[in-house]
């Protein structure tokens, strides 16, 4: 029988580090389990999760556990296990030996032992602990040994006691990260559904994230690119400088409320000579209102393409909030990123009239700032009204 590796401070530190690394990167759980098995050669190690008592693929990492045994366990024998039945009664982070759960003479009479453990040569001298338990499921780490060696099993219990608090913290971290990733995916899904290309820029003007429309726009290279530092750039130097100036203006007014005035905007020419893209900036004082990651000083850059504007959003807003035809036309221009002065000129009205009309639009829609109006349009799915 191989002797276990001594529990030196260096070994414990290595395992503790491995636990936290795996909490951050689930691909590393296997490396941790393999390292534990190397301390007790030929022992079966299983890091399992169950959801509503059913084995879950969310966390299923083993060493010296035959594939056939895994299949049989998942298909049926988790339901015959006396150890699974014990989980609700065991305290999280409390190492326990298998004989404290069920005595050998009782185990020998169970279906689990005769139809599962014996055929698959799973050791009956077990040690383990519950790592996490929630209403929807639980996770555990277990050792199954063929040798009932007092020193070896005491070594296993000592190791589990040392690692228990770190597993507890790591699983809390894992759950927090999973929740954050789920929320981030949900936010990104909404972000990807916006009608225009959008970039979130950090306080230095570097791209933090962008939606699918923006990815496609950058990929085609027609009007906007990213520098090697991730800053939005035009192929035209004058337009690139205008982007920098608009970004700086937006950052300078980050704490000022934006009401009826123009949003900092830039017209970006296309290489092909087609209609220019409309780029506009505004500070995102509270990124949560956009469902985006929060960072002080971040700026939203939205680029609209007059040749690729999904129909329906502005018409839906007009119907939903009772905008007049004249108000709908102005809202359409503002949402498309046209500066208010230019929109007034195109619509044949005075700038003062455009400002008054915009305030009426804001009052009807409850959008007290231009950015709120644009965000409202972006939140409307691409639809065709008939």
SS3 (DSSP) at 295: coil
The answer on pLDDT for 190 being more than 70 is no
Q: Which domain holds residue 220?
A: 194-306
Are 65 and 161 in a shared domain? Answer: yes
Q: How far apart are CA 101 and CA 224, in angstroms?
A: 66
The answer on pLDDT for 286 being more than 50 is no
Are 296 and 371 in a shared domain? Answer: no
% of the chain with per-residue pLDDT over 90:
40
Residue 3 resides in a domain: no
% of the chain with per-residue pLDDT over 70:
82
Tell me the pTM. Answer: 0.52
Q: Please tell me the least confidently modeled range out of 34-38, 57-61, 321-325.
A: 57-61
- Element (DSSP H or E) covering residue 134: strand 125-134
Point out the domain boundary residue: 265, 284, 306.
306
Number of domains in the chain: 3
The answer on pLDDT for 264 being more than 60 is no
Are 293 and 342 in a shared domain? Answer: no
Q: What is the pLDDT of residue 256?
A: 46
Q: What is the CATH number of the domain that holds 201?
A: 3.30.450.20
pLDDT, one tens digit per residue, over 99-108 is 999 999 999 9
Question: What is the sign, positive or negative, of the torsion defined by CA atoms of 337, 339, 340, 343?
Answer: negative
The answer on pLDDT for 33 being more than 60 is yes
**Cβ distance 24 to 177 under 8 Å?**
yes
The answer on pLDDT for 57 being more than 80 is no
Q: What is the pLDDT of residue 259?
A: 42
Q: What is the CATH number of the domain that holds 369?
A: 1.10.10.10
Q: What is the CATH number of the domain that holds 76?
A: 3.30.450.80
């Amino acid at each position: 029988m191989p002797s276990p590796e001594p529990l030196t401070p260096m070994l414990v530190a290595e395992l503790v580090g491995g636990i936290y690394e795996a909490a951050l990167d689930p691909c590393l759980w296997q490396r941790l389990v393999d390292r534990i098995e190397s301390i007790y050669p030929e022992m079966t190690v299983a890091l399992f999760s169950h959801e509503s008592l059913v084995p879950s693929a969310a966390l299923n990492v083993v060493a010296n556990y035959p594939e056939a045994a895994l299949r049989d366990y998942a298909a049926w024998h988790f339901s015959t296990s006396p150890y699974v039945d014990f989980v609700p009664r065991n305290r999280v982070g409390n190492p326990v030996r298998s004989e404290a759960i069920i005595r050998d003479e009782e185990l020998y009479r169970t279906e689990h032992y005769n139809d599962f453990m014996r055929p698959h040569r799973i050791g009956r001298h077990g040690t383990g602990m519950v790592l996490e338990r929630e209403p929807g499921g639980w996770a555990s780490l277990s050792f199954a040994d063929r040798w009932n060696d007092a020193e070896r099993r005491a070594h296993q219990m000592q190791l589990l006691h040392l690692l228990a608090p770190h597993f507890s913290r790591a699983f809390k971290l894992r759950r927090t990260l999973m929740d954050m990733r789920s929320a981030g995916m949900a936010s990104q899904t909404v972000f990807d559904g916006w009608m225009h290309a959008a970039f979130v820029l950090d306080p230095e003007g570097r791209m933090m994230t962008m939606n699918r429309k923006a990815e496609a726009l950058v990929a085609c290279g027609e009007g906007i690119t990213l520098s090697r530092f991730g800053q939005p750039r035009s192929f035209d130097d004058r337009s690139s400088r205008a982007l920098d100036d608009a970004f700086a203006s937006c950052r300078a007014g980050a704490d000022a409320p934006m009401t009826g005035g123009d949003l900092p905007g830039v017209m970006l020419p296309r290489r092909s000579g087609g209609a220019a893209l409309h780029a506009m900036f505004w500070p995102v004082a509270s990124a949560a209102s956009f469902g985006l990651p929060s960072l002080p000083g971040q700026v939203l850059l939205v680029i609209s393409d007059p040749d690729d504007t999904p129909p329906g959003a502005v018409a839906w807003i007009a119907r939903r909030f009772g905008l007049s035809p004249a108000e709908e036309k102005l809202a359409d221009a503002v949402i498309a990123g046209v500066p208010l002065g230019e929109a007034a000129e195109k619509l044949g009205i005075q700038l003062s009239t455009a400002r008054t009309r915009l305030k009426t639009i804001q009052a009807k829609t409850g959008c007290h700032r231009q950015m709120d109006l644009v965000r409202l349009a972006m939140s409307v799915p691409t639809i065709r009204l008939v």
